[in-house]
Amino acid sequence: MKKRDIYLTALLLVLIGVSLGTIFALYAINPDLAPLSDVNVTEVKRSDSPLYEDEDLAEFDSRFMFKKIAEQITPTVVYIETIVPVDMPNDGNHNFGDGIWDRLMPQRARTVGSGVIITKDGYILTNNHVIEGAVDNGLKVVLNNKREYQARLVGVDPSTDLAVIKINEEELPAVTIGNSDTVEVGEWVLAIGNPFRLRSTVTAGIVSALSRDVRIINDRMRIESFIQTDAAINKGNSGGALVNTSGQLIGINTAIASQSGNYQGYGFAVPSNLALKVATDLIEFGEVRRALLGVQIQSVEYDRAVELGMSDVMGVEIMYVTPDGAAESAGIESGDVILTVNGFPVNESNELQEKVAVLRPGDNVTLSLWRDGEIIERTVLLKLMEPRPVVAELEETEPPVELPEGDNTGIESHEFDLGFRVLAIIRADGETYDLMVSHVYKYSEAWNRGLREKQQILEVDKEKVEDIEGLKDLIAKNLSNNGSVILKIQNQSEATGFIELQRK
């Protein structure tokens, strides 16, 4: 072979090699051209153990306790469904249907809310407006574990918008109730309830303010001293739990401040101390036994504080002292300024109302007073609040008890052991007497038999009653002889009927 051919052959082989190498490189660089090949995957680390334990995180910030608190409290909060009648006019604005059942069956609606289990045997604390107006067998409770129960009403207190219902079950998870007097502005809280029918919802926030009076309870004897919070509270949260970072109940969620009806930044809860007192009374007596201080009050403003020679604007001034009331018996005078109740400062009328409302008739309360430039102390034995035809105590404005039309020369009253109170209204002629039922204790013998307020008692076992002494004698005689008594009563529509009451 010639030398020139050898060189050409070598050059050709080099060119072929370069071409093959270029093609191989192109395949290697372009993933769409390169063939698939086996590769080794690097190890991915996984772990179920947190880097920091919850207990360690809780030492840095109390918010890290929220998960544990939610797990603990959520089983104690229940979903309440209430069936209520719907009163709608039968006009062109409402469609009742044309069928016979549409015309005969009453219109009903379902409302929802929340409640908190406070005892293992099934007592549940909620709001009055959650269960108000429920029809017979119209209360259903659903636990966090989805078990359902029919509930019965134990008692209500419109003054605080609280109520207690009961389900038949044992060994239920019950909440631990804390001391709302120790709650401070700025501390973290959780609100747990069922907003918009969303079961077991937990929201977090802080205590924004204390002792708020927002005038949302529609009752003339209302007591409002709410805990304000920015934890989200919406429709359906009513009756749910407000708890602190120790997992203790410090309030019952009651209302929201909103123009739309939905959460807009603030919610309000009844303090747990007041809620517990109300619940205990309802369970024990069927109604609240409210203590009476026997005063009319007004918050002290700046100008009044200057007039009284006070260095700070504080306290609640006594405007009127009820004759023979608890305050008068303890030497308290009109013009005194109450500074503390059992050591707790009170600077608004509703704060004083709350501090007295958590106590019971017969309890002693120590008041610190400002009088004539000095601070003095008085101990007051509280009395039972009863309806009376004077301005009600602990209310800045309160209308007198409504009496029948006509000239009234006097009023007597008596409370009967069967569970009702009677006002004897003596007419001007001195011969006509109206014996009006002024109060019936819920779930007493009289209540269970159908006796109600504003009914008039006409006869006792077919004997006409002339006055309250005669009523007392006739009832006592018939109970002693027969073990029962039959009252002829007349309602406001002048319809008459008979009610039999039996001796306990």
Is residue 225 within 8 A of residue 211, CB to CB? The reply is yes
Decide if pLDDT at 396 tops 50.
Answer: no
Residue 37 banded pLDDT, cuts 50, 70, 90 = low
Whether this prediction's pTM lies above 0.75 is answered by: no
| Average pLDDT estimate for 101-123 | 80
**297, burial (CB in 10 Å: exposed 0-12, middle 13-18, buried 19+):** buried
How many secondary structure helices (H) and strands (E) does the chain include? 11, 29
Reported as half-sphere exposure (CB side, CA atoms, 13 A), residue 44 has a value of 2
Percent of the chain topping pLDDT 70: 76
Length of the chain, please?
504
Which structure tokens are listed for 452?
A: 């109600």
Band (pLDDT 50/70/90 cuts) for residue 398 is very low
Q: What CATH number is given for 291-384 in this structure?
A: 2.30.42.10
pLDDT band at 253 (very low <50, low <70, confident <90, very high): very high
Q: What pLDDT does 454 receive?
A: 83
Confidence of residue 445 (pLDDT cuts 50, 70, 90): confident
> Looking at 161, 213, 230, 281, which residue is catalytic?
161
- Place 430 in a pLDDT band, splitting at 50, 70 and 90: low
The pLDDT value given to residue 162: 94
Gap between the Cα atoms of 129 and 196, Å rounded: 16
Residue with tokens 């050709």: 12
Looking at per-residue pLDDT, the higher value among 311 and 504 belongs to 311
The pLDDT value recorded for residue 325 is: 87
265 by Cβ neighbours in 10 Å (0-12 / 13-18 / 19+) ranks as exposed
Residue 404 has pLDDT above 60, yes or no: no
Mean pLDDT of the chain: 79
- The CA distance from 211 to 109, in Å, is 34
Q: Is 161 a catalytic residue?
A: yes
Asked if residue 444 has pLDDT above 80, the reply is no
CA distance 134 to 83: 5
238 is catalytic: yes
The tens digit of pLDDT for each residue in 285-326 reads 888 888 888 888 888 888 888 888 988 899 999 988 888 888
Sorted by where each begins, the domain ranges of the chain are: 63-88+104-285, 291-384, 408-502
Lowest mean pLDDT among 65-69, 384-388, 487-491: 384-388
Q: Which of 26-35, 169-178, 380-389 has the highest mean pLDDT?
A: 169-178
Choosing from 129, 157, 180, 211, the catalytic residue is 129
Give the per-residue pLDDT at 472.
87
**Average pLDDT of 99-117?**
72
* Structural contact between residues 205 and 232, judged by C-beta atoms closer than 8 angstroms: yes
CB 455 within 8 A of CB 447: no
Question: Which pLDDT belongs to residue 276?
Answer: 94
Q: Which amino acid is at 474?
A: L
Low-confidence winner among 228-242, 400-414, 485-499 (lowest mean pLDDT): 400-414
| CA–CA gap between residue 13 and residue 7 (Å, rounded) | 10
Return the bridge partners of 149, or none. Answer: 141
Do 191 and 242 form a contact (C-beta atoms < 8 A)?
yes
**pLDDT for residue 400 is more than 50:** no
Nearest residue to 126 via CA among 43, 194, 186: 194
What is the CATH code for 408-502? 2.30.42.10
* Distance of alpha carbon 284 from alpha carbon 478, whole angstroms: 29
What pLDDT shows up at residue 50?
A: 57
Helix (H, G, I), strand (E, B) or coil at 349: helix
Check residues 39 and 189 and name the one with the higher pLDDT.
189
Does domain 63-88+104-285 fall under CATH 3.90.79.10? My reply is no
Beta strands in 322-444 (DSSP E): 337-341, 344-345, 364-371, 374-381, 383-384, 408-416, 420-427, 433-440
pLDDT at position 93, please?
A: 37
Given the residues 225, 238, 272, 299, the one annotated as active site: 238
Q: What is the pLDDT of residue 40?
A: 60
pLDDT mean over 151-170: 92
Same fold, 63-88+104-285 and 408-502: no
Is 129 assigned a catalytic role?
yes
